[in-house]
Amino acid sequence: KGSYRKIVLGRKTEVDMGADCDPAVTLASRLSTSVDAFLMRRGEACYWGLSPERLLSRRQGQVWTEALAGTRARGVTPESDQRLERELLASEKDRREQDFVREFVQHAMEARCDRVQVGLTQVRKFRSIQHLYTTFQGHLKNPGSFAALADALHHTPAVALFSHGRQLGLIRELEGFDRGWYGGVTGWLSRDQGELAVGIRSCLSRWASWTFWTGAGI
């Protein structure tokens, strides 16, 4: 009916590992400079993953964020990888999906920052996947607005939906489960610095029971 322009639905897959496995060992084997690794423990539960999406970074009054959407696999050869990259950049559907996230992020940044700089949309490559990617940089209008900006950015249309309001009830209705920590915020903060990432491409481990979380933009 036109009420929603984009929605991201999650899927959880439950796996019995057969024995207690150490998530830290698994995470360490997949470390990469192109993603944010995170691991949080609470009691017997461990939530961990490799997030490709930065929610917000801060150094003094400067902040950085990004829009990440639109997807292709990596090619098995340099030639096929470049072909998939060109296909992604030329895709009307993927550019539109990326524009939704970029528009959302830019609006939040401009409301709380001065001198917002928006980068050109390009392709960011990970180990097995590549995405359309746009960077943003700005200067906070006042130091206390960092938390307000992080709150305005979460949930982004990269993990939720793009509509005239944050009507997250539709996601809960269609998915049929509680996301828990999936799609939440991970990272660290000090008085004038911080690195926040979106908790996606992740797993919730309880001894041998592992629940994997993934999502897809529609």
Active site residues: 6, 53
| Residue 63 bridge partners (DSSP) | 58, 138
Please name which of 156, 61, 150, 67 lies closest in space to residue 114, comparing C-alpha atoms: 61
CA nearest 61: which of 115, 119, 133?
Answer: 115
Q: How far from 123 is each of 72, 73, 134, 177, 207, CA to CA, in Å?
A: 10, 12, 9, 33, 37
Question: Look-up: residue for tokens 């949309």?
Answer: 121
The dihedral built from the CA positions of residue 54, 58, 59 and 62, taken in this order, carries a sign that is positive
CB 205 within 8 A of CB 48: yes
- The span from the CA of 185 to the CA of 2, in Å, is 29
87: left (phi over 0), alpha (psi -120 to 50) or beta: alpha
- Phi, psi (rounded to 5 degrees) for 146: -65, -50
